[in-house]
Amino acid sequence: MNLTLKIWRQKDANDKGQMVDYKVTDISEHMSFLEMMDVLNEQLINTGEEPVAFDHDCREGICGMCSMYINGEAHGPDRGVTTCQLHMRMFKDGDTITIEPFRASAFPVIKDLVVDRTSFERIQQAGGFISVNTSGNTQDGNAIPIPKKDADDAMDAATCIGCGACVATCKNSSAMLFVGAKVSQYALLPQGRVEATDRVQNMVAQMDLEGFGNCTNTGACEIECPKGISLENIARMNSEFMKANLKG
Ligand code: SF4
Ligand code: FES
């Protein structure tokens, strides 16, 4: 495949940035999107140009680093995949592909396609943990009966990889799908109930402090989420938040 790429180039956080056109040739449909980007970068290095900076780590849909907005969609046109799992067979010979960073004021661009998502880390630090007795007298987790549905829902919520596609997709740059998943992951299990009140209040407060917008129920986040995190998690977070506030 021969392709035209329109890529956001931005030298640093203070640069205005602009779209720049590139051509790549002989791209195999079996390549992943990031392998195609590697081909472009080798080409740029060979001609003495600055390669395109983009985030990646695991390249298998686990780490949540590969945040690209491709042809107007977070993680591109496929469903249930991250950018690193997107295959070039989703495109046709002669296509023009537009590639931008995830855009949200709480995710400032650092360089080219790399954004700063430490706002997510600060939300996690505000409450995404449980206290564990490490004295040696810990109760075996299997000794605590948990309804199958609760365990399944908690595990589903825990599959959120913190990629930020929900924020990039949302017209309000809302992080509620992410925070809803993180709150639900603990709220559904007895081990997570100990700090449940503080957790939801602190995580929501940090989310607001970071400048993420509110949820207006468009549901775009659920559609673009590579892990299929359900909107039910937002409803659960709202109910946890109301319960916590009633407790005072
Ligand atoms: S909820 Fe989905 S889209 Fe949002 S951060 Fe988690 S995995 Fe990514
Ligand atoms: S590089 Fe880890 S999820 Fe894409």
HEC string of 9-59 equals ECCCCCCCCEEEEEEECCCCCCCEHHHHHHHHHHHHHHCCCCCCCCCCCCC
Query: Atom 3 of ligand 2 has which residue's CA nearest to it?
Result: 61
pLDDT of residue 137: 81
For residue 19, which phi and psi values (nearest 5 degrees)?
Answer: -85, 135
Measured from CB, residues less than 6 Å from any atom of ligand 1 are 160-166, 177-178, 181, 225-227, 229
> How remote is the CA of residue 243 from the centroid of ligand 2, in Å?
36
Instruction: Using most ligand atoms within 8 A of CB, pick from 78, 85, 160, 224 the residue to mutate for ligand 1.
Output: 160
pLDDT of residue 134: 78
For 125, the 3-state DSSP assignment is helix
Instruction: Using most ligand atoms within 8 A of CB, pick from 179, 227, 232 the residue to mutate for ligand 1.
Output: 227
For 73, the 3-state DSSP assignment is strand
For 89, the 3-state DSSP assignment is helix
pLDDT of residue 37: 98
Sketch out the chain's domains with CATH numbers. Answer: 3-111 (3.10.20.30), 117-247 (1.10.1060.10)
pLDDT of residue 136: 81
pLDDT of residue 140: 82
Taking 50 as the pLDDT cut, the residues of the chain under it are none
pLDDT of residue 248: 66
Percent of the chain with pLDDT over 70: 100
> How remote is the CA of residue 157 from the centroid of ligand 1, in Å?
10
Instruction: Using most ligand atoms within 8 A of CB, pick from 68, 81, 156, 163 the residue to mutate for ligand 1.
Output: 163
CB 134 within 8 A of CB 36: no
Is residue 65 in contact with ligand 2, taking CB distance under 6 Å?
yes
pTM value > 0.85: yes
> How remote is the CA of residue 115 from the centroid of ligand 2, in Å?
14
Task: Identify the CA nearest to 49 among candidates 95, 11, 88.
Answer: 11
Is residue 62 in contact with ligand 2, taking CB distance under 6 Å?
yes
pLDDT of residue 170: 98
pLDDT of residue 21: 98
